[in-house]
A and B are shown apart, each in its own frame.
Chain A
Amino acid sequence: MRAHSQSLDRRSFLKRSAAALGAAAFVPVRVAQSAPDAKDAPAFRFAYISDSHLYAKDLNDRFARALMRAVDDVNNLDPQPDFVFYGGDLAQLGQAHELELGAQILKNLKAPLKIMVGEHDWYLDMGAKWRELYGEPTYSFDHKGVHFVVLMSVVEADFWTKRGLTPMQRMLTVAGLDNGVQSSFTVGAEQRAWLQKDLEKLPNNAPLIVFSHSPLYKLYKNWNFWTDDADEVQAILKRFERVVVIHGHTHQILTNRIGNIHFHGLLSTAWPWPYAPQGMPELTIQMSRPDPFNPNDGCGDGEVLVHADGLVDKVYSLWNRNPITVAKGYTASGGKECVPPKPNRPSY
């Protein structure tokens, strides 16, 4: 993962530019397409890691090693990001030893960690272990003038009691992306009331970034690329001039804009999901189909460059490909400017 020139001092910028000239064949083209506006340099940046789906290390070393690689990536950023955001689904089956393994690996991060819960972390013990490790899953904080909100957007209506499912059967049902027995994700009335209250004091022009594990809109219900009460949550956010929502769960490059809300997905360290067969947002430039012969292709981590107005340049640092930046100008212009590179292969 590379630090961005905006955050380097002049000397290292010149050094980097000289290096870039050596790779002149493709670098200038990419910069021209995706570099954020120089007049509008980002105020700060944070890194992200998401969707590691850890099993016990002796059952599955691949997923654990992938998370360790992401931690190394982030630790090698120079300068360090202000904090690291973890996007949920740290564990695969919500087991205490899986969450503990994740916590142990994430402890190696040099920058402070902010973490969100995913459905794979929750539905074995309904969040008991999670709370023990990280506290309440819904919270907010302020950083350099930007208000951040972390939601627990994977609340499912009870489908298990009537069926007499054991906690592990419930977990396995939720863990299957295409399992139709489970309910749809929601934020729920309780958290929506909390959100309303949390945002109460902010003026309409306040820079605001919301994190949710599921996309806070309705993309594809069958895979829970979906939040059932997204309309109600969007209504709470409507009065703000601009809002950025960053979500996990979809394991892919995903871009959307609904009115004042700009949406960005996160990459997974474990595996990429295919794109939904219907409901794809127009703004998304899909990444081409990952190479099945390379377990790291389509996976990765990344950075979020936050501007003073709260809009972001979203960097997808793919492990087997050039990084792709979805600049603030792209979503702000409705897809007319700063267009990210298009893939040569279909995504299926």
Chain B
Amino acid sequence: MSSDTKRAIAIVACVVVAGVLVGCLERPKQAQAPAAIAADHMAQWKQRNPDQANRWVEEERERHKIQPPADNSPLLKAEQGKSHVYGNYSERDVLMWGRETEKLVVEGSRIFHSADRLGGTIGVSCDMCHPDAANTHPETYPKFQAQMGRVALLRDMINWCIQHPVRGKALAPDSPEMRAVEAYILAQRKGIALDYGKH
């Protein structure tokens, strides 16, 4: 290490230490609630990253009709759960479950409708044959798929479509893309009775 480099490191170290000291001295003066500080930081981040501030969920929901997840709010009304550790749900729990589940489904919709995200090579995406995931009938799997000569799961058919009509590479069964696409297709058939093996 040259002496110039050493000197540079020493200067940087001094500046950092001074900065931390100033920060410590200033902190009592601010005395803000942690939530307000976090909100302020979040607002600054959103300002710097206008495209990434979760707008994608709203945007995708505007573009494509997406079935909402089940409403779990009745869980909050009953008395019994309150005395249990498991079952003592808050509004925050219910909100978080719904939002997170829906986010996976919405991400699935984005992939389903994008030849690029699917890794397609000929400009074909799932929605070109399956608008709103119609005619995907996930409720009929597993079933014997005569053309494959074996019992297929929904994900086997998703991969078959990705490899053939979409001309892409099969997704790993546990890849984020496969999990999201599967979630979207299942969500769109909300309310349909399971009927595995049906042709």
Interface residues of A (CB under 8 A from B): 55, 59-62, 92, 173, 176-181, 222-223, 271-274, 277, 289, 291-293, 295, 345, 348
Q: Interface code B120-155, partner A: CB below 8 Å = 1, 0 otherwise?
A: 001110011111101101000000000100000000
What is the CA–CA distance of A62 and B164 in the complex, to the nearest angstrom?
11
What's the least CB distance linking A218 to chain B, in Å? 17
**B65 at the binding interface (Cβ < 8 Å):** yes
* Chain B residues whose CB sits within 8 angstroms of the CB of A222 once the complex forms: 65, 131-132
Query: CB within 8 Å of A: which of B12-43?
Result: none
- From known contacts A60-B124, A222-B132, infer whether A178 and B64 are also in contact, taking CB-CB under 8 Å: yes
Assess the A178–B137 pair: CB atoms within 8 A: no
Assess the B123–A274 pair: CB atoms within 8 A: no
What is the CA–CA distance of A55 and B167 in the complex, to the nearest angstrom?
15
What is the CA–CA distance of A289 and B199 in the complex, to the nearest angstrom?
10
Assess the B135–A179 pair: CB atoms within 8 A: no
What is the CA–CA distance of A84 and B53 in the complex, to the nearest angstrom?
52
What is the CA–CA distance of A348 and B134 in the complex, to the nearest angstrom?
8
Interface residues of B (CB under 8 A from A): 62-65, 113, 122-124, 127-132, 134-135, 137, 147, 157, 160-161, 164-165, 199
Assess the B62–A181 pair: CB atoms within 8 A: yes
- From known contacts A176-B113, A293-B147, infer whether A271 and B131 are also in contact, taking CB-CB under 8 Å: no
Contact of A277 among B64, B129, B134 (CB under 8 A): B134
* Chain B residues whose CB sits within 8 angstroms of the CB of A223 once the complex forms: 131-132
Assess the B63–A181 pair: CB atoms within 8 A: yes
Assess the A59–B122 pair: CB atoms within 8 A: yes
What is the CA–CA distance of A291 and B199 in the complex, to the nearest angstrom?
11
What's the least CB distance linking A123 to chain B, in Å? 16
* Chain B residues whose CB sits within 8 angstroms of the CB of A272 once the complex forms: 129
What is the CA–CA distance of A348 and B137 in the complex, to the nearest angstrom?
8
* Chain A residues whose CB sits within 8 angstroms of the CB of B131 once the complex forms: 177-178, 222-223, 273-274
Q: Which of B122, B123, B130, B131 has the most CB of A within 10 A?
A: B131
What is the CA–CA distance of A345 and B30 in the complex, to the nearest angstrom?
71
- From known contacts A178-B65, A181-B63, infer whether A274 and B161 are also in contact, taking CB-CB under 8 Å: no
* Chain A residues whose CB sits within 8 angstroms of the CB of B161 once the complex forms: 292
What is the CA–CA distance of A132 and B80 in the complex, to the nearest angstrom?
73
What is the CA–CA distance of A180 and B109 in the complex, to the nearest angstrom?
13
Assess the B122–A289 pair: CB atoms within 8 A: no
A348's nearest neighbour on chain B, judged by CB, is B135
A347's nearest neighbour on chain B, judged by CB, is B135
5 interchain residue pairs of minimum CB distance: A274-B135, A178-B131, A60-B122, A274-B134, A293-B147
* Chain A residues whose CB sits within 8 angstroms of the CB of B122 once the complex forms: 55, 59-62
Assess the A179–B123 pair: CB atoms within 8 A: no
- From known contacts A222-B65, A274-B135, infer whether A178 and B129 are also in contact, taking CB-CB under 8 Å: no
What's the least CB distance linking A170 to chain B, in Å? 13
Assess the B130–A274 pair: CB atoms within 8 A: yes
If A178-B131, A293-B160 are given as contacts, then 19 extra A-B residue pairs at C-beta distance below 8 Å, sorted by A number, are A55-B123, A59-B122, A62-B122, A176-B64, A177-B127, A177-B128, A179-B63, A179-B64, A180-B64, A180-B65, A181-B62, A271-B165, A272-B129, A274-B130, A277-B132, A277-B134, A289-B135, A345-B199, A348-B134
What is the CA–CA distance of A222 and B123 in the complex, to the nearest angstrom?
23
- From known contacts A179-B63, A293-B147, A345-B199, infer whether A59 and B123 are also in contact, taking CB-CB under 8 Å: yes
What's the least CB distance linking A179 to chain B, in Å? 5
What's the least CB distance linking A308 to chain B, in Å? 40
* Chain A residues whose CB sits within 8 angstroms of the CB of B129 once the complex forms: 271-274, 292
* Chain B residues whose CB sits within 8 angstroms of the CB of A273 once the complex forms: 129, 131
* Chain B residues whose CB sits within 8 angstroms of the CB of A177 once the complex forms: 127-128, 131
- From known contacts A223-B131, A348-B135, infer whether A180 and B62 are also in contact, taking CB-CB under 8 Å: yes
* Chain A residues whose CB sits within 8 angstroms of the CB of B128 once the complex forms: 177, 271
* Chain B residues whose CB sits within 8 angstroms of the CB of A92 once the complex forms: 123
Assess the B135–A178 pair: CB atoms within 8 A: no
What is the CA–CA distance of A55 and B125 in the complex, to the nearest angstrom?
13
* Chain B residues whose CB sits within 8 angstroms of the CB of A173 once the complex forms: 63
* Chain B residues whose CB sits within 8 angstroms of the CB of A60 once the complex forms: 122-124
B165's nearest neighbour on chain A, judged by CB, is A295
What is the CA–CA distance of A289 and B63 in the complex, to the nearest angstrom?
27
